[in-house]
Structure 1
C-alpha cells in the first residue's frame, strides 16, 4: 500500500466514523432535550413556591413572631382576649397550617424526585455517549497503528 492509499483509507474511515458519531450525538441530544422540556402546571409551580417559602428562615422567624404576638396579646388582655389561655383557636390555626403544608411539601418533594431521576437519566446518556466515542477513538488508534506497522514492514 502506498502512502496515498493509506491516507485515503484512513480519511474515508474517519468520515464514516464521524457520520456514526453525529448520529449518536443527535440521538442522545434529542432525548436529553425532550426530558428537559417537561412543562409544569400552575399547581406544581405553586406547591414548589409554597414549599420553598415554608422552608425559609423568613417563614420560620415570621411565624415565630406571629405566635409570640398572639400569645402575648391574649395573655396581657386576659379577660378581654379573643383566645384565652389554653389557646384553642391558636391550636386550630396551627393544625390547619400543618394540614395544608404537609401535602404541599410532599408534592414538591415528589417533583424534585422526578427532576433528579431525569437528571440521572441524562447523566447516564451522556456517560454512555462518551464511552461509545472513547471506544471508537481507541478503535481508530488501533487501526492507525496497524496501518503504520504495515507500512514499516
Structure 2
C-alpha cells in the first residue's frame, strides 16, 4: 500500500510540474513576440529632404542661430544707417531686410513643421514601445499569478489528500490497537 501511495504522490507531482512547465512555455512564447518587436523595430527610411528639414529645424531652434541672426540684422541696420547715400544698399525703412526676413520665415515655417511631423512619428513609435514593455510586464505578472494559483491549489489538494491518508492510517492503527487490546484483556 505504501508503494501505491508513493507512486500516486510522484504521479501527482509530475502532473503538477507539467502544468508549471506549460505556464512557463506559454509565457515565453507571449514574451518572445514582444521582445522581437522591441529588439527589431521597423527601420525608418528617411529621404534627403527629411534629413535636411531635421538639420534646418535643429539649427533654426538653437541659440547659435538666434545669436548669429541678431548679429547679422544689427550689422545690416548699422551699416545702412552709418553709410553715406551712395554706399547704402537698403536705406531706412529697410524694405529689403523686411523682404528677406519674410522669405526666411516663409521657408522656415514649413521646414520646421515637417521636422515636427517626423518627431511626432518618432514619439508615436516610442509610445508603442512603452506599451509593449508594459504589456510584457503584465504578461509576466499574469504568469506569476497563474503559477501562484497553481501552487496554492496543488498544495491545498496535496495537504487534503495527505490528511485523508493520515486519517485512514490512524483509523487502521486504532483498529489494530483495539484488536490487540481485545486479545490481551481476558475480561
User: Fold conserved (TM > 0.5)?
Assistant: yes
Q: How does 1:129-140 map to 2 (within 5 A)?
A: 129-140=136-147
Q: Which moved more, 1:129-138 or 1:86-95?
A: 129-138
For residues 100-152 of structure 1, give each alpha carbon's deviation from its aligned partner in whole angstroms, at most 9, with x where no partner exists.
10001100111111111111112112212211221121011011011111222
> Structure 2: which 5+ residue stretches go unaligned?
1-7, 161-187
Displacement over 6 Å in runs of 4+: none
Equivalent residues, number = 152
Residue 99 of structure 1 and its aligned partner are, at CA, apart by 1.0
Partner residue, 1:91? 98
Residue 69 of structure 1 and its aligned partner are, at CA, apart by 0.3
TM-score (norm 2): 0.75
Equivalent of residue 32 in structure 1, options 21, 38, 45: 38
> Structure 1: which 5+ residue stretches go unaligned?
none
Greater Rg, structure 1 or structure 2? 2
Q: Distance in 2 between matches of 1:143 and 1:18?
A: 12
Q: Distance in 1 between matches of 2:41 and 2:47?
A: 16
Q: Which moved more, 1:121-130 or 1:91-100?
A: 121-130
TM-score (norm 1): 0.90
